[in-house]
């Protein structure tokens, strides 16, 4: 189920998915798949229920899809952190972990940069 919750025994896997470098891409895919059925339902309702022209109904449905995914992505960090609390992790655990990893990565990049460019001075 796309919008459902996995059993608690999968909590480590869920945390890994929420903290890996491609977490936002997976979040967007998940949001897209959650909004898509409602979008299709609205489009079909416009065509069959209100006799709307198909191009107009598709345009309205597409706009709803874009707005729904945009809204979901706007709150991606908060939503992911809230999802982690449902698995027993402390508040903001995923975003804190991602920030720590980014800090380490930035530090390593700076060291490589300094070794390549600052040593020549």
pLDDT at 2 (0 to 100): 58
Please state, rounded to an integer, the average pLDDT across all residues of the chain. 85
Q: Tell me: the pLDDT tens digits for 34-93? A: 899 989 998 998 889 898 899 998 998 899 999 999 999 999 989 888 888 888 888 888
Check if the beta carbon of residue 17 is closer than 8 Å to that of residue 26.
yes
* Of 20, 24, 11, 25, nearest in space to 90 by CA: 11
Q: Is the pLDDT of residue 96 over 80?
A: yes
Tell me the per-residue pLDDT of 70-86, one tens digit each, with 9 for 90 and over: 999 999 989 888 888 88
| pLDDT of amino acid 68 | 92
- Rounded to whole angstroms, the Cα distance separating 76 from 95 reads 10
* Count of other CB atoms within 10 angstroms of residue 12: 9
Q: What does the block give as tokens for 109?
A: 């990049």
Token pair, residue 31, equals: 């949001």
- Residue 112's alpha-carbon distances to 54, 108, 117, in angstroms, are 56, 6, 9
Task: Say what the pLDDT of residue 71 is.
Answer: 93
CA–CA distances in Å: residue 79 to residues 19, 46, 91, 95: 13, 31, 11, 10
């Amino acid at each position: 189920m796309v919008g459902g919750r996995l059993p608690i025994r999968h909590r480590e896997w869920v945390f890994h998915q929420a903290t890996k470098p491609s977490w936002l891409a997976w979040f967007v895919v998940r949001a897209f798949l959650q909004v898509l059925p409602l979008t299709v339902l609205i489009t079909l309702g416009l065509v069959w229920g209100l006799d709307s022209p198909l191009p107009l109904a598709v345009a309205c449905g597409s706009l709803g899809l874009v707005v729904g995914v945009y809204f979901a992505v706007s709150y991606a960090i908060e939503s992911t952190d809230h999802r982690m609390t449902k698995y027993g992790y402390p508040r903001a655990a995923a975003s804190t972990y991602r920030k720590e990893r980014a800090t380490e990565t930035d530090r390593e990049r700076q060291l490589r940069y300094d070794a390549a460019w600052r040593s020549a001075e």
